[in-house]
Structure 1
Amino acid sequence: MEKYSLDKDIKVFYVTATSFPEGIPAAFQQLHSLLPTTNGREFFGISYPNPKGEIIYKAAAAESFPGEGEKYGCETFLIKKGDFMSERLKDWRTDEMMVGQTFQKLLSHPDLNRNGYCLEMFLNNDKDMLCLVPLV
């Protein structure tokens, strides 16, 4: 684990998965279908528990221009700048179980923002993933 500082807010728009984790691929497919191209795009996964303890997952893309999310009829979310605890997963698709295990470890950090969320930042054309949780 290492500290990661996000130096600017990132406005994203998203598609909410119908279930977790089964609905995640379909949510990303739906998100990608809205876009003219995925080249040069930043993609994220945002997850958190609802009041019943069920995980809500949002497949998200950074806006490339103001109002892009609204143009596609999507809701938006602001990933706020600040400090996160992070861990980078290389070739995460070879063992997708490591994603949940990594977040369990990150969520045990003593300075965790208890009102935060789990953030996946996809890198290298989705080959690597940066797992992040916000700190207080």
Structure 2
Amino acid sequence: MDNFKLDKDIDLCCVKAASFPDGIGEAHKKMNSIFKGDGRRRFGVSYSYDDRILYMAGEEIMKSEKIPPGFERYILREGSYFSFYIQDFPNNISQIEKSFSILTNDPRIDENGCCVECYFPEGAKFENAKDVRCMVRIAD
């Protein structure tokens, strides 16, 4: 487990997945229909709500950009995060769940935070991503 620092808030344009985990791929495809691989950072954001996991595919945007209908703005808060970097995640997909299981069981995390996936190489569409950083914010 590593520490990772977000130096500033990151604004995201997001679309919710219809279900978790089955709807993740479709949510990222919907993001691709709006953002056509223009070099922006791609994220996945998930959190618990009413005993369910809600997942959103997200793309980094500028604060001034308008959110298209059917999408929503989400802000990743600056701060320190615990993280795992997973190389070649499509062939190690179980490592994402394992990483978040470890991260979310740490008593030092922000109870109001979320689980964040940041895909690499930066600017790649979800289906072209090779690596992922799994992160959970540390409480202030």
Q: Do both share a fold (TM > 0.5)?
A: yes
Give 1:58's aligned residue.
Answer: 56
- Answering whether residue 137 of structure 2 is matched by residue 134 of structure 1, we say yes
Name the Cα RMSD after superposition. Answer: 1.2
Give 1:42's aligned residue.
Answer: 41
| 1-structure distance, mates of 2:62, 2:88 | 26
Q: Percent of aligned positions with the same letter in both sequences?
A: 30
Unaligned runs of 5+ in 1: none
Give 1:119's aligned residue.
Answer: 116
| 2-structure distance, mates of 1:2, 1:65 | 29
SS of 1:55 mapped into structure 2:
strand
TM-score, normalised via structure 2 length: 0.90
Divergent runs of 4+, >3 A = none
Unaligned runs of 5+ in 2: none
Which letter does structure 2 place at the counterpart of 1:107?
T
Give 2:84's aligned residue.
Answer: 87
> Post-superposition shift, 1:66?
1.6
Which letter does structure 2 place at the counterpart of 1:66?
S
TM-score, normalised via structure 1 length: 0.92
